[in-house]
Amino acid sequence: MSRGLGTEFITSARAVVADPQTLIADGAVVVGDGQILAVGPRQPIKRRFAGVVEQVLEGQVLLPGLVNAHTHLELSDLAGRIPAPSHFTEWVLELGALSPASGRTDEAIAAAVTAGAGQSIRYGVTTIGDVSRHCAASRRALRDGPVRVVSFGEIMALGRSRNRLEARLAGASEWGDESDFLSIGLSPHAPYSVEGPALQQIVRAAEARHLPLTMHLAELLEEREFLATLGGRLGGDWEVMRRLNLLDADIPRFADGPVAWAEHYGLLGAQVPVVLAHLNYPSADDIDRLARCRAAVAFCPRTHHYFGHDRQGRHRWREMLASGINVCLATDSLASNPDLSLLGEAQFVQREYPPADPRELFSMLTIRPARALGLARHIGALAPGYRADLVAMPLPAEVSLSIIPVLEYLIAQAPSAEQVWINGGAAL
């Protein structure tokens, strides 16, 4: 319930942004039993729902809850602890030194996950696509809310570790903690940690159980060399790979790059929602491949900058959108990002990739990631029948009440939320 208002209530505000194209001045949203019952101008809503208690939010705007399609809540205790590295492989070494898997207790993981979920809510994020290596501890911490989560269990299966695939797949797809807040997905980690036949098996398992998938793909230039030769900075030359002693002669080589590899082993054609994280280095052919499939791309702008990928060239998110690919903005983790603000990501894009239409950017925080996670009929907009995931943010009197000025203000200021409701219940 919402601050004692009951299971049915009206929330009205100076403006309601129902979706990236629609603003209702002096608008209202009616909530009942966790769903949105109606959205529209305040006075007609009040007449239609006479007798229903109303909460009036002065000087605020109501938005659909924001949707972060790619993050790692387990790393939320590492904020500011790893300086920007000269290369991703150095970051992995630092990450391992700070959070050795054998030394992280379930309590520490749960605390990090809870902190990341709480920060997300304060920034108006109500749904998260979370990649979890420690599934049991993370899911126990998240199953009762307060945020809506698709928990992607992370799987690695390469070379001499391939015999662990069945056990890791079983752990990643464990159903026990599912709830109204928590659903399950699978995350084959990356082309340098999951070999092709293992990816194919994970995709088949996801399709059999109707589980969404996510994978880090074309994040690094060196993925192509690794797939072709098992060499280079991600392969035999990498201290981590040598220490783990994973590489063997039975790993299939693939010469045409990571996106073609993902297509070859079934990920791009999977009959479940697929989120491809980063896509920092696609070729023109790769963009054509992605345009022919249903997979979405999660672009993490500030993490992209943190790792120095922008020194190699601009991210091609605009070309992807123009090709019909569903691109959304995401935060990645606090181990590579100063915070978990999605509006902060849009603000960064508006500054570094101008000009960007604020309506397009807002769609990349709401309806696009909702579709990417397979939740487009439930979240990402304020409409009757959708889940009552709402966010209230400040809206100064000088901001004109039309969609572009309001979205421009929100992106330029990236404010914290004043109030948040998830399933109609107060989360902030």
- CA 282/CA 261 separation, integer angstroms: 12
Residue 61, strand partner residues: 15, 393
Report yes or no: 27 and 79 within 8 Å, Cβ to Cβ: no
The CB-side HSE value for 180 (13 A sphere, CA atoms) comes to 12
Three-state DSSP string of 232-298: CCCCCCCHHHHHHCCCCCCCCCCCCCHHHHHHHCCCCCCCCCEEEEECCCCCHHHHHHHHCCCCEEE
Cβ neighbours around 276 below 10 Å, total: 29
State both tokens at 57: 């939010």
Report yes or no: 348 and 304 within 8 Å, Cβ to Cβ: no
pLDDT at res. 34:
95
pLDDT at res. 100:
60
Domain extents in the chain: 8-65+380-426, 66-372
Conformational region of residue 124, where left means phi above 0, alpha means psi within -120 to 50, and beta covers everything else: left
Cis peptide before 188 (omega within 30 of 0): no
Chain centroid to Cα 91, Å, comes to 21
Full pLDDT tens readout for the chain, 428 residues: 344 455 799 999 999 999 999 999 999 999 999 999 999 999 999 999 999 999 999 999 999 999 999 999 999 999 999 999 999 999 999 998 887 655 678 899 999 999 999 999 999 999 999 999 999 999 999 999 999 999 999 999 999 999 999 999 999 998 777 899 999 999 999 999 999 999 999 999 999 999 999 999 999 999 999 999 999 999 999 999 999 999 999 999 999 999 999 999 999 999 999 999 999 999 999 999 999 999 999 999 999 999 999 999 999 999 999 999 999 999 999 999 999 999 999 999 999 999 999 999 999 999 999 999 999 999 999 999 999 999 999 999 999 999 999 999 999 999 999 999 999 999 99
Cis peptide before 20 (omega within 30 of 0): no
Buried b or exposed e, range 106-133, using 16+ CB within 10 angstroms: eeebbebbbbbbebbbbbbbbbbbbbbb
- CA 339/CA 337 separation, integer angstroms: 6
Residue 394, strand partner residues: 60
CATH architecture of 8-65+380-426: Roll (2.30)
State both tokens at 194: 């999951």
DSSP, collapsed to helix, strand or coil, labels residue 424 as: coil
- Beta-carbon contacts of 41 under 8 Å, excluding residues fewer than 6 positions away, are 24, 25, 26, 27, 28
- CA 323/CA 6 separation, integer angstroms: 46
Identify the CA nearest to 267 among candidates 345, 325, 213: 213
Radius of gyration of the chain (CA): 22
- CA 300/CA 119 separation, integer angstroms: 17
- Beta-carbon contacts of 320 under 8 Å, excluding residues fewer than 6 positions away, are 279, 282, 287, 290, 291, 297, 327
Q: What is the fold, at CATH topology level, of the domain defined by 66-372?
A: TIM Barrel (3.20.20)
pLDDT at res. 2:
44
- CA 73/CA 57 separation, integer angstroms: 31
- Residues composing the chain: 428
